[in-house]
A and B are shown apart, each in its own frame.
Chain A
Amino acid sequence: MRNVFAKTVTELSDIYPELVMLAGDIGNRLFDSYKARHPDRFYNCGVAEANMTGVASGLAASGMRPITYTITPFNTVRCLEQIRLDICYPDLPVIVVGTGSGLSYAGLGATHHSMEDIAILRTLPNMHIVCPADPVEVRLALHDALRLGRPTYIRLGKKGEPVIHSSDPDFRIGRGITIRNGSDVAILGVGNMLATALQSAEQLNHHGVSAMVASLHTIKPLDEELLAGIFSLHKLVIVLEEHSLIGGAGSAVLEWGSLNRVDLRKLICFGGPDRFLYACGEQREARASVGLTSENISQQILSRLQEPDAPWS
Chain B
Amino acid sequence: MINSTQLAARFRARVVEMSHAAGTAHLASSLSCMDIVAVLYHSVLRLDPLNPGWKDRDRFILSKGHAATALYAALAWKGFLTEEQLESYGRAGSLLEEHPSPKLEGVEAATGSLGHGLPCGCGIALAGHIKKEQYRTFVLMSDGECNEGSVWEASMFAAANRLGALCAFVDFNKWQATGRSREVLALDPLVDKFRAFGWEVHEIDGHDHQQILQSVQDVSPSRQKPTMVVAHTVKGKGVSFMEDDNNWHYRIPTAEEVQLAKAELGVL
Q: Shortest Cβ distance from A86 into chain B, in angstroms?
A: 6
Residues of A within 8 A of B255 (CB): none
Q: Which residues of B contact A (CB under 8 A)?
A: 55, 102, 108-110, 112-113, 115-116, 118-128, 130-131, 149-150, 153-154, 156-157, 160-161
Q: Check A43/B161 contact, CB under 8 A, given A50-B149, A55-B126, A57-B123.
A: yes
* Chain A 272-283 near chain B by CB (<8 Å), digits 1 or 0: 000000000000
Q: Check A54/B123 contact, CB under 8 A, given A40-B130, A61-B109, A64-B130.
A: yes
What is the number of contacts between chain A and chain B, taking CB atoms within 8 Å?
Answer: 99
Tell me whether A54 and B110 are in contact (CB under 8 A): no
Tell me whether B122 and A61 are in contact (CB under 8 A): no
Q: Shortest Cβ distance from A87 into chain B, in angstroms?
A: 10
Q: Check A54/B119 contact, CB under 8 A, given A59-B127, A89-B102, A90-B102.
A: yes
Q: Check A61/B124 contact, CB under 8 A, given A50-B153, A89-B102, A89-B110.
A: yes
Q: Check A86/B119 contact, CB under 8 A, given A43-B126, A48-B153, A50-B150.
A: yes
Q: Which residue of the partner chain, among A58, A86, A91, contacts B126 with CB atoms under 8 Å?
A: A58
30 A–B contact pairs at CB < 8 A?
A41-B130, A43-B126, A43-B161, A46-B153, A46-B160, A50-B115, A50-B149, A51-B150, A53-B119, A54-B120, A55-B123, A58-B120, A58-B122, A58-B125, A59-B123, A59-B124, A59-B127, A61-B123, A61-B124, A62-B123, A62-B124, A62-B128, A63-B55, A64-B127, A81-B116, A85-B110, A86-B110, A86-B119, A90-B110, A91-B102
CA distance A48 to B55 in the complex (A): 28
CB-contacts of A96-124 with B (<8 A): none
Q: Shortest Cβ distance from B139 into chain A, in angstroms?
A: 10
A244 at the interface (CB under 8 A from B): no
Q: Which residues of A contact B (CB under 8 A)?
A: 20, 40-41, 43, 45-46, 48, 50-64, 66, 81-82, 85-86, 89-91
Tell me whether A55 and B119 are in contact (CB under 8 A): yes
Tell me whether B121 and A58 are in contact (CB under 8 A): yes
Residues of A within 8 A of B125 (CB): 58
Q: Check A58/B127 contact, CB under 8 A, given A51-B157, A86-B116, A86-B119.
A: yes
Tell me whether B116 and A58 are in contact (CB under 8 A): no
Q: CB-nearest residue of chain A relative to B102?
A: A90
Tell me whether B55 and A58 are in contact (CB under 8 A): no
Which residue, B113, B115, B116, B123, has most C-beta atoms of chain A within 10 A?
B123
CA distance A59 to B113 in the complex (A): 19
Residues of B within 8 A of A58 (CB): 109, 119-127
Q: Which residue of the partner chain, among A20, A57, A63, contacts B120 with CB atoms under 8 Å?
A: A57
CA distance A55 to B121 in the complex (A): 7
Q: Which residue of the partner chain, among A20, A46, A59, contacts B156 with CB atoms under 8 Å?
A: A46
Tell me whether B110 and A55 are in contact (CB under 8 A): no
Tell me whether A59 and B126 are in contact (CB under 8 A): yes
Q: Shortest Cβ distance from A66 into chain B, in angstroms?
A: 8
A81-B113, A85-B113, A91-B102 are known contacts; what are 7 more A-B pairs with Cβ within 8 Å? A50-B115, A51-B119, A55-B157, A61-B123, A62-B128, A86-B116, A90-B110
Q: Check A51/B122 contact, CB under 8 A, given A59-B127, A62-B128.
A: yes
Residues of A within 8 A of B122 (CB): 51, 54-55, 58
CA distance A65 to B109 in the complex (A): 17
Residues of B within 8 A of A91 (CB): 102
Q: Shortest Cβ distance from B132 into chain A, in angstroms?
A: 10
